[in-house]
Structure 1
Amino acid sequence: MKIGYLYLGIAILAEVIATSALKYSEGFTKPLSSLVVALGYGVAFYFLSLVLKTVPMGVAYAIWSGVGIVLIAGIGWLWMKQPLDAPALLGIGLIVAGVAVIQLFSKSTAH
């Protein structure tokens, strides 16, 4: 199961790179950024398919989406100067708490 979480980390990283490149692709009019988007999502979904061999789908998707949201929000704030107000930070905190609850207390994570 540990290899599944390594693959999940790779999938999340690839998805975050691809999502970040979406802004710079300008509606897929910039070839290099568009290529990064396509390759990033391809790698992300390939590794997610490997994850699902060992990690339950609901758990994998909760971690994938939760960590992805946190990372993308951080990238948007740090590099793209997109503000995060108190409600946004609270919501992100709740997402992190939800993923932590799944990992720490759910019997669904055992496969």
Structure 2
Amino acid sequence: MLISWVVLSIAIIAEVAGSTLLMKTEQFTRLIPTVGTLLLYGIAFYCLSLSLRHIPLGIAYSVWAGVGIVLTVISGVVIFQQRLDIAAVVGVSLIIIGVMVINLLSSTSTH
């Protein structure tokens, strides 16, 4: 069971890295970043599929997407100096709260 959460974490990290590298592809006109992005997305989806052995699809996908969104936003702020307005901060905060509610309170989530 724990291994499924570890594999899901790897999927999240690969997806965030792929999304971050996507900025460097320049609309898929640069070969190395494009190949890296596609490879990282492939790893992300493969690991996500492996995590589904013990984690329900809806839970795995919501955690993958929610945590991925938050980490990608942080990546944009830290690496690309993108700025967030108050609406973006509130929205990202709601995503974090949603993932926490699923994991802490839902009986659907398996730990």
- TM bucket by the smaller chain? over 0.9
Deviation at 1:110, TM superposition (A): 2.7
C-alpha distance in 1, partners of 2:79/2:11?
21
The unaligned stretches of length 5 or more in structure 1 are none
Q: Residues 1-111 of structure 1 correspond to what in structure 2 (within 5 A)?
A: 1-110=1-110
The unaligned stretches of length 5 or more in structure 2 are none
CA RMSD of aligned residues (A): 1.0
State the one-letter code of the partner of 1:74: I
Q: How many corresponding residue pairs?
A: 111
- Alpha-carbon displacement from aligned partner over 1:85-105 (angstroms, at most 9, x marks no partner): 111001100000000000001
* Runs of 4+ more than 2 Å apart: none
Percent of paired sites with the same residue: 44
Question: If the length of structure 2 is used for normalisation, what is the TM-score?
Answer: 0.97
State the one-letter code of the partner of 2:18: A
Deviation at 1:15, TM superposition (A): 0.5
C-alpha distance in 2, partners of 1:53/1:92?
29
